[in-house]
Structure 1
Amino acid sequence: MVSSPHEAMHRIFQHDTRLFSRVSKVLGCDLPVPDSVTILPTDLTETGPVERRVDTLLRLDSAEHGAFLLAIEAQGKKDLTKPASWAYYTAYLWSKYRLPTALMVVVQDHATAAWAQRPVASGPPQLPTLTIRPLVAGPHNMPVITDPAEAHEDLVLATLAAITHAGDPAIADILKALSTALRNEREDNKREDVVDPIIELISQGLGDRPAKSLWRNLVAVDLSFYKSDIAEELRDEGRDKGRAQSRAEDILFVLEQRGIEVPGEARDRVIGCDDPEILRRWFARALTAPAVEDIFDNE
């Protein structure tokens, strides 16, 4: 099953088709900025029954250096079957388009990076024939950007760097720098078309890691102008918490009016509950329960 981080790690190159030339500088290849970039179909299926799809496929054209294809794969973990698939992709694309074909793999952890960048040959040691040696972008070589000004210089590159460092101890500082840079971009240039897709890509790229919760909070506070699914989800949660708090206060008020003592432990339990169904049951029992303990029966 394709995960959100998997999609974000390669779709960001579709969002900004010239991103690869900047990433190549970071990774030591320093390829020139192409004159044009074309997003190509990713379906590499032949007439046979086996279906094969590369994650993102770009054609980069330059008047000075010619054209080449770039296949981009997002890889979440080590998979011993992948080198053979990557060999198929590059050989098939080379044959189909008659253009030099490169492969880049984007990862989010050091172990996967170390595995992915090892060269793998299709033949025996004496006859390596076709060797896969992908360019790998991950936490081992992407920059840790914690300065909002630096993040603002290239928001898309900073976004990719944040996604590859999703499990890094410095992720809180990285995301704070990005949220500040995005807020400044929105306030200075009024460019929702620049800011909004990046907010979504970051949310997608963090997956279910603890950093996702931090990013949601930053969106709610630093990027409160943002209107999207994640923003609406946060606002719905806020409304739900408000309703739960109101119902909890109603329960305590009823018990107080009936002269029933509510010890601190019971009060904390009522206030700390955010399940509307449980609170509804407790409220109904609070109307008639002879003691506060009775509203918690069978819970």
Structure 2
Amino acid sequence: MRGALAVALSLVGIEIPAELELRPGPEAVRDGTSDLLPDGTLVAHWSDGEAEEAFVLDVQLRKDPSKPTNWVVYVSITRRRLRCPTSLVVVTPFEGVESWAAGPIEIGRGHSLVPIVIGPSSIPHDVSLERAREIPMLATLAVVAHGRGPHAEQVGRVAIDTIRAMVAGEDQEAGYHADVVYAFLDEDVRRTLEEEMNVRVEGPPYSSYLRQLEAQGHMKGLAEGRMAGREEGLAEGREEGLAEGLAEGRMEGRAQMLLALAARRGLRMTARQRSRVRSCADEALLMRWFDRTITATSATEIFSRSQ
């Protein structure tokens, strides 16, 4: 999310200085009686730990009259808690929601909150392949914003080519990008591109690209083992480390996709539920939760049969 936010903010003219580090901020905003849950908070810190600026993130898929009031609370309480300038960032793939969320939100005589809105109008559809390979998140965001509109084939082609280059370069983020493309790219367009480009983008969190990465990692481990055939202890250590790293990467990616799917479907999780997903080490259980997220009508349903 940190990389995605930095890229997305740059599209609306906001640059995060390289010397600042983006770290996760508080997940819940307590207003005295209950926890309000934005979709995330990121805080830009200096090397000494001092907070320079905070961004409260909220993914919005529809016009919700109750949200502007909550947004004001999100920002004001986060500002008080972190004691640094705080901005609201609303992300949406829909043009109608984008214009609605732009505000300003009137607070009172001369006071208002103006959200930073990142949507189709601020995310370009004409990202070049060269630029996308430099910053893969640009291609992925283009699919999120334009993957179901008239530019779907254009953004899909660039994104798939970019992911293919990431796989070739053994970039461990390739599987995540492939799963996002699968989720947001028009199905007919995706199938056409798969056939034309001789690739297959399968559903999250088992994208074919992620499996390719795993296979490549396994083959790399075997090659290293052969080259160090006389050094059995070292070879064993490499294989164990590789297997452990791939397993951790798979679990983290699947947890991220579950949370992203829940947000896209408007299922609001509590901070405890989000923490439970992120810390889950049971692959089968995580997949059951993911399957339930597809059809659940509330976040509680995702976990109700596995408490």
TM-score (normalised: structure 2): 0.59
Q: Distance in 1 between matches of 2:124 and 2:28?
A: 32
State the Cα deviation string for residues 235-254 of structure 1 (Å, max 9, x = none). xxxxxxxxxxxxxxxxxxxx
Deviation at 1:66, TM superposition (A): 5.7
Deviation at 1:30, TM superposition (A): 3.4
Report what 2:159 is aligned to.
178
Q: Distance in 1 between matches of 2:43 and 2:167?
A: 31
Deviation at 1:145, TM superposition (A): 3.2
| Greater gyration radius | 1
Structure possessing the higher relative contact order (Cα contacts under 8 Å, 6 or more residues apart)? 1
Q: Distance in 2 between matches of 1:225 and 1:203?
A: 6
State the Cα deviation string for residues 21-54 of structure 1 (Å, max 9, x = none). 3333321233423531211231223452x33101
Report what 2:24 is aligned to.
39
Report what 2:189 is aligned to.
214
Q: Distance in 1 between matches of 2:73 and 2:139?
A: 31
Report what 2:77 is aligned to.
92
Deviation at 1:91, TM superposition (A): 0.6
Task: Give the aligned residue type for 1:212.
Answer: E
Report what 2:259 is aligned to.
none
Aligned pair 1:51/2:32, yes or no? Answer: no
Report what 1:27 is aligned to.
12
Structure 2: gaps of 5 or more residues: 209-307
Secondary structure of 1:29's partner? Answer: coil
Report what 1:158 is aligned to.
139
Deviation at 1:57, TM superposition (A): 0.7
Work out which of the residue numbers 91, 101, 111 in structure 1 matches 2:96: 111
Work out which of the residue numbers 120, 127, 133 in structure 2 matches 1:139: 120
Deviation at 1:110, TM superposition (A): 1.8
State the Cα deviation string for residues 72-120 of structure 1 (Å, max 9, x = none). 1111122221110100000110111212111111111222111111201
Q: Distance in 1 between matches of 2:188 and 2:46?
A: 42
Report what 1:76 is aligned to.
61
Aligned pair 1:200/2:175, yes or no? Answer: no
Q: Distance in 1 between matches of 2:28 and 2:93?
A: 25
Q: Distance in 2 between matches of 1:45 and 1:84?
A: 14
Deviation at 1:149, TM superposition (A): 2.2
Q: Distance in 2 between matches of 1:140 and 1:227?
A: 28
The 1:216/1:55 distance shift into structure 2, 3 A limit, reads: farther
Report what 2:262 is aligned to.
none
Q: Distance in 1 between matches of 2:154 and 2:162?
A: 12
Task: Give the aligned residue type for 1:29.
Answer: I
Deviation at 1:228, TM superposition (A): 5.9
Q: Distance in 1 between matches of 2:19 and 2:41?
A: 15
Task: Give the aligned residue type for 2:174.
Answer: V
Q: Distance in 2 between matches of 1:158 and 1:85?
A: 31
Work out which of the residue numbers 76, 84, 107 in structure 2 matches 1:122: 107
Aligned pair 1:190/2:170, yes or no? Answer: yes
Q: Distance in 2 between matches of 1:148 and 1:54?
A: 34
Q: Distance in 2 between matches of 1:52 and 1:142?
A: 28
How many correspondences in the alignment? 206
